[in-house]
Amino acid sequence: MDPVHASIAPEVPGEKTKVGTSLVDTAAATIQSFGPTKQIHQHLCAFHFYADDMTRQVEAHHYCGHVNEDMRQCLIYDRPDADARLIGLEYIVTEELFLTLPDTEKPMWHSHEYEVKSGVLFLPGVPGPVERKDLEKVAKTYGKTIHFWQVDKGDELPLGLPQVMMALTRDGQLYPNLAKDVESRYGVSFEKERANRAYMEGPTHGIHPKANAAGVGLKTVLREIECKPSGHPESVPRIFV
């Protein structure tokens, strides 16, 4: 099956944003402040695949900000354009923080060493030396990625359950046509970057055996259960009946 490239996926249904709507937005935007989102300082490009299906590989544009020195939070869009779809998010932590996670939690996190050292993960537009200063650190980190909009299936809207995603961990996983396409569009060469990054080291303690889903497939499913009511004195059902 040929992987679908996100840039040819269908548009979101609906009318184009009206001028009136934009005006109200602009009015609000001049008054309000957007402190949390202003922390975003970096655009990273990489690939993710679904934790239960490596044939589904998705180009992921990360917009990241530091929460502190040990942790970043990233928004993931399907392309780097203003009309991009928000398809996921990723949390990135240092090895130290990763090692504090419960063993049941570790499988949902993936290592970054291969993605960085292979050259596939890059910062569009940033000169090599500046980019490498940061990627040296990223190579030692772990990430937890969740996608909620299956653009690779051609979904016009964000349907279904959020899914845990995984990252590349060795040669031979990434589809060559996806790699070539990113290289052409951004004028980068993964092979060349790999050579430039040969000096980098991964996690000090090596890749943890429980990371990267410990090699099994993971799929989020939904279970219907009794909803715990709010237990407020006049306890009410959630919806009108």
Partner 1 sequence: MEPVHASVPGEKTKITTSLVDTASAAIQTFGPPNKIHQHLCVFHMYADDMTRQVEAHHYCCNVNEDMRQCLIYDRPEPDARLIGVEYIVTEDLFLTLPDSEKPLWHSHEYEVKSGVLFMPGVPGPVERQDLDKMAKTYGKAIHFWQVDKGDELPLGLPHVMMALTRDGQLYPNLARDMENRYGVTFEKEKMNRANMEGLVHGVHPKANAAGIGLKTVLREIECKPSGISSLEPVPRAPK
Judged by CB under 8 A, the chain residues 36 through 75 that form the site for partner 1 are 36-43, 49, 51-55, 57, 61, 63, 66-71, 73, 75
Q: Does 158 bind partner 1 (CB under 8 A)?
A: yes
Q: Which of 125, 153, 180, 189 binds partner 1 (CB under 8 A)?
A: 125
Query: Residue 65 phi/psi, 5° resolution?
Result: -140, 150
**Interacting residues of 110 by C-beta distance below 8 A, sequence separation 6+:** 142, 143, 144, 145, 165, 166, 167, 169, 211, 212, 213
191 binds partner 1 (CB under 8 A): no
Residues in contact with partner 1, total (CB under 8 A)? Answer: 127
Q: Does 236 bind partner 1 (CB under 8 A)?
A: yes
Closest CA to 154 of 53, 7, 1: 7
Q: Which structure tokens are listed for 153?
A: 């299936």
Query: According to CB under 8 A, which one of 46, 48, 91, 140 is a site residue for partner 1?
Result: 91
Instruction: Provide the minimum distance between the beta carbon of 92 and partner 1 in the complex, in angstroms, as a whole number.
Output: 11
Binding residue for partner 1 (CB under 8 A) from 84, 99, 188, 200? Answer: 84
The 8-class DSSP code of residue 188 comes to: -
DSSP element (H, E) containing 73: strand 71-77
Q: How near is the Cβ of 184 to partner 1 at its closest, in Å?
A: 19
